[in-house]
Structure 1
Amino acid sequence: MATMNISLSDPLKQFVDEEVSEGGYSSTSDYVRDLIRQRQRAKAENLLRQLIAEGLASGPAIPVTSETFDRMREELAKRLRREAD
């Protein structure tokens, strides 16, 4: 595990210490790791919302059939043959 040192103003350090003691964290590091995980989840949720919005804005859905996959395989095979040449 990597180590990272940070500097905090006295009011921020006091806030973190209170959060650790009131939040049931075992240490300041545990608290900071939890904050980072929360931010990672928030970013992932925002990306998912963005992708859903893009999908909804892209127009009506097109049914996917076995023929769709056959066509995709053919297109991929053609592309791979072109790249191999």
Structure 2
Amino acid sequence: MAQLHVSLPADLQRYVEGRVSAAGFTDPADYLRVLIERDQHSYQADVRRVRLLVEEGIASGIVDREPEDILDDIIADIRNADD
């Protein structure tokens, strides 16, 4: 396993130590590993979501109207639904 050495200011070091103790991590490396894995999963989920939105947009076809007209229709639909 590769090693990574990280320097932290004293206040962050105290925070990490507190989190390790309070959350039951085995050591700061375990805590950091979990944070990185969470970030990785979140990033991958964001990429999947954007790809699905792009695919949905492509599949919806081309609209031959001005964006302002489409927004006006959406706003009108919302107002009519409230009545």
In 2: Cα distance, 1:44 partner to 1:5 partner: 25
Aligned match of 2:43: 43
Q: Moved runs in structure 1, 4+ residues, more than 4 A? A: none
TM-score, normalised on structure 2?
Answer: 0.69
Q: Structure 1 unaligned segments of length 5 or more: list them.
A: 61-85
Aligned length: 61
Q: Sequence identity of aligned pairs in percent? A: 27
Between the aligned partners of 1:2 and 1:39, the Cα distance in structure 2 is 19
Match of 2:3 in 1: 3
2:49 and 2:3 map into 1 onto residues whose CA distance is 33
CA distance in 2, matches of 1:49, 1:24: 32
Q: Does 1:55 align with 2:55?
A: yes
CA RMSD for the aligned pairs? Answer: 1.4
Q: Which runs of 5+ in 2 are unaligned?
A: 61-83
TM-score normalised per structure 1: 0.68
